[in-house]
Structure 1
Amino acid sequence: MTGTTTTLDRFDGHIAGLGTAAGLRVVVGRWRRSPLGAFTDVMAERPDGHRLLLAPGPAVAEFVAATYTFDEVRVVPVAATVDGPRWTVRAGPLAATFRTGGRPPLGLLLAAVPTPLATSIPWVSAIDVVARRVLPGVRTRGSATGDRDEFYCARDMHRIVAASVAWDGVDQGALTPVDPPVRFGFGSTPAGPSVVRVTTLIRR
């Protein structure tokens, strides 16, 4: 009789999501602690629906591509620097700067939840019902590819209030909501451009 081993991977960091007038939607994951070390990766969906992963190395590319769905995976230099409210992201064809502002009401609520509760699977599973009703496209738990279960433990949120985004040197226009929702996994980032402080748990 063979037993089954379950692994729970924990990624602590921030997810930034924004849209542009040209139709490009970008999700930046800046992970300070993870089983893969500290890294930044970028998921982008072009106006034609083409989904790309921009990963800083083969190990990140392999893990992320085994968890989410992409039409193309590129291993390229990826860097994100944060100076107060200002983010600067460079990843292959992407050059982006954006600035965060205050917390929306949801951010105030998230920040008030104690960390042990906010990062517990029962809590995240329970609030998924609420997230589905009040944040179109957003899920806090679901099934990823590769027989993996994923849990998004959101712990804080700040609005993105200004952005400059270029793709292959072409300006992508004004900051817009993430609309339509991105299609990398079972859920999207919030429609309102934002940076979310998050702990992501992946059970495999």
Structure 2
Amino acid sequence: MRLIAFDVEGTLVKARSSWVELHKKFGTWEKGKEYAELFFAGKIDYAKWAELDASLWLGRKKEEILEWADSVEYNDYAFELMDFLRENGFKIALLSSGLMCLAGRVARELKADYVFANELVFKDGKVAGVIPAVDFEGKGAILRRLKEELKPELTVAVGDGFNDLSMFREADVAIAINPHEGVEGDHVVESLREVREIVEGLIGGR
């Protein structure tokens, strides 16, 4: 059995950040940007950042959130890549520090085995808070737990951002796809088709 972990936003879909996209949709980005700066300055922790961000959307309808999530487009070759991975004995995990409203949809449609993301809380069909399940460094710990549970012969991680580096460190092979400046993996690619080519090379002799 083999294991592959994917970031979602910017890796499998074209949206780069569900947090930023929803801020822009609801006109709250200026305040959201201030909260991001507080986090990266070390003045608040991730849970507080998520709480503050979600507080800007209190009372927003669940339908508005899902409408946005359903509109996000996939990157080319996402479905074909997943078919190839399943055919070659991979368990597929999606690890997102974005929101489950998008990650859950992607996991269902791509038939992933596991999905982890932060979850907006809804009450009476409206945003009431957030459960911060995947913090900025949390992907590594999640991937480590999956490895301990599944004991795969090969673990691959695919992502594009700084919050993917912790899972890169847990993987046997890290693939950076169109990475942010300063993000490096064992391989750097520009497309999901290239991810398949690298995986084919990895499993060719196994």
* TM-score normalised by length of structure 2: 0.26
TM-score by length of 1: 0.26
User: Could you say which structure has the higher strand fraction?
Assistant: 1
User: Quick check: which one's helix share is greater?
Assistant: 2
